[in-house]
Structure 1
Amino acid sequence: MKKIIISALSLLAAATGAVAQNSSVLTQRQYLSGHGCDDMVQWDFYCTGGNNSGKWTKIGVPSCWELQGFGTFQYGMKFYGKAFPEGIADEKGMYKYEFKLPKEWANHHIELVFEASMTDTQVMINKRKAGSKHMGAFYRITYDVTDRVFFGDKKNLLEVTVSKESENAGVNLSERRADYWNFGGIFRPVFIVCKPALNIERTAINATANGEFNAYVLLNHTIEGAKVKTTISDFNGKKVAENTTDVRKGSDHADISFKVNNPKLWTAETPNRYKVDFALIDASGKTLHIEKDKFGFRTIETRESDGLYINGKKVNVRGVNRHSFRPETGRTLSYQKNLEDVKLIKSMNMNAVRLSHYPADPEFYDICDSLGLYVMDELSGWHGHHETINGQKLIREMVTRDVNHPSIIWWSNGNEKG
């Protein structure tokens, strides 16, 4: 039951121990892996087939296990159009990792996050399931593990089983029967997120060229009498606008809407951005949680039989398709490698990039935001397409993760047969 009134939650907090008064109201993050291919963290690892299989050893995380000497290199085209063919490389990777969490995080909301894992992923935390099996390789997987983790000196045991092939036909046809290499592994970072027990779950920002700022701010529980205070600053830290909006009675979200005077606009040529703080405030005036983000003011318009307009000005799109790939590290990249790709595209006098054929690393979008590239964010697909039920889940994961990036001006529902 998501909509629990604040009085019931207060009773629960009193019974389990109230949140420490000096605890941070900001979202905190602790990495369990490296941030990319250049700072991997060693985890215990067992591969079931191919190279270096049949024994427990170590592997760097994040990585594609083939590039770390495990499993079988295989190209997707040989099995084109077949969901479950004979002869496919279908090894599994089993991971183990122990970690501690700060004792100050007790009585907070704790999430375990995988930025991406290829392909089917089952997660156990302290011998309990973190959640249902995830099917799909290029998406942020988030588990609420508040009631499954220990704090202070007691270690937590993370166990992950990654299947290179999916048990879902649509995932295999969309992501693996394609004109590129098939990899396996936890290939993007893994981290823990800590928020106050009552918090902002997520936001969606729409800031337009006329200065209108609209945001949907979703809470993790209904909190009677709550408000959301929104503060917008420029990148030098100067406050440019502020607003306080009531959370409607009985609701679990706030609809923010106000005007900012004469904002600097975001385009690929003028990538002006702003910072925003959303502060969740309870009925007594206490700040419960602050969520921070970055955004840009821009208006996207298509005019029939004419073209694309950004902020009222016609744009000639000059772009390229881009894979997340390096021969040395497969699909596991780093901030520097993502930066190199954006700089290369801009150096060719291009202003746009299509993320073929799957969502990219979050930092790639941030670089496009900051340096200026128009982005097409794409659901995974090549010539196959996702089945509706699982595909809807993947679309939700893509959009909720990426929606606030001003660089994204198109969403693609997959490649040619999506």
Structure 2
Amino acid sequence: MSTLAHPLPAIEGHVVLVVNAGSSSIKCSVYRVVDDPQAEGGARAILGAGGQIEAIGVTPRVVAHMADGRLIVDETFPVAQVSDHDAAFRLLRLVLAVGLRDTPPAAIGHRVVHGGAHHADAVLIDDAVIEELDALTPLAPLHQPHNLEAIRAVRAAAPDLVQVACFDTAFHARAGVLAKLFALPYSYYENGIHRYGFHGLSYEYIARRLHTVAPEIARGRVIVAHLGNGASLCAMQDGKSVETTMGLTALDGLPMGTRCGALDAGAVLWMMARGMSRDDIEKTLYQESGLKGLSGISSDMRELLASDSERAKLAIEFFTYRIAQDIGKLAVTLGGLDGVVFTGGIGEHAAPVREAVCARLKGLFGIDVDHDANAANKLRIDAHGSRVPVFAIPTDEEGMIALHTARILRDSHKG
């Protein structure tokens, strides 16, 4: 059974351009979506080329490669030439034209962080969708404005090109009411103030990938840890989201690179009582907390792992402590644990983080990590005799966006 809502289309020869716009960078990838009866969902997204513009408005740099590693471009530009996301996307689109010369894109798929209460699936973008997503900006202030800026830039440059929004919240949309509620007056829930969850495109990819790399647990009780600058956990049963650690916004749950994670709301009231403005509080919670705030050094896990600072060690220990603690909570929700998966930039590459998390889980779940396999970032990292298998699986959010975009494109043509 596919984790996608519908069977995927046959669009051999069509190309999808995927856009993932962040606060200071825009990533673009070119995929060809082809039928594959052996693949979960009946189709595969094959990467053709990818690139990104980094440090927009500061020291803009464009880097792009073909899928086989051939360099398309690696160049730094004057700030005046790439001062905002609109200029950055136009430039990156020109760069990737090298890889699209013979097959222009049939559609563009965008990662959009927050889909709100009405989007449990990807959707064709029109004026009404843009207006609705813009209204959700207060719930995802670090991401939503840039997602929308990329969409508007494409509309201005190529108004007839089909665009599709793919939501980080959609994978969690069918979770039960208990997983969504806050203990606020019920009218708040009725008005959309509830837990949405994020990183859904990553979790959906892992759910599909498990059918290939670990079929014995793919339909079981699995907890996936997406660990990067943003971090969350997802409890899955039969490849579907049951519970996740993020909530109404991408602030909740685990501590992150610069975000605080779960916080007593009284702390916000305390900040207000001290005279802090809404903007100052938002900046503190989103940009000055998490690993950066605790360590006083950096939000980058690589820098913290290399540091001798006691506060860096404290930040890492707190991060792994909270991950292990929340894995235990989600295991209770699932009624047991059949597998653990690490993914995301930290989850895929930071062996000491994985080892520290699993060490805290050993007594309760009998998890034991193979030190050498973990240090080598192998796909499976549990030791012989571990009661629960543990994996480190690279995610592919952009590939999921390509698959969803192809399906929506097919459906729009049928209509």
What is the TM-score when the length of structure 1 is the normalising length? 0.23
Structure with bigger helix share is 2
Structure with bigger strand share is 1
What is the TM-score when the length of structure 2 is the normalising length? 0.23
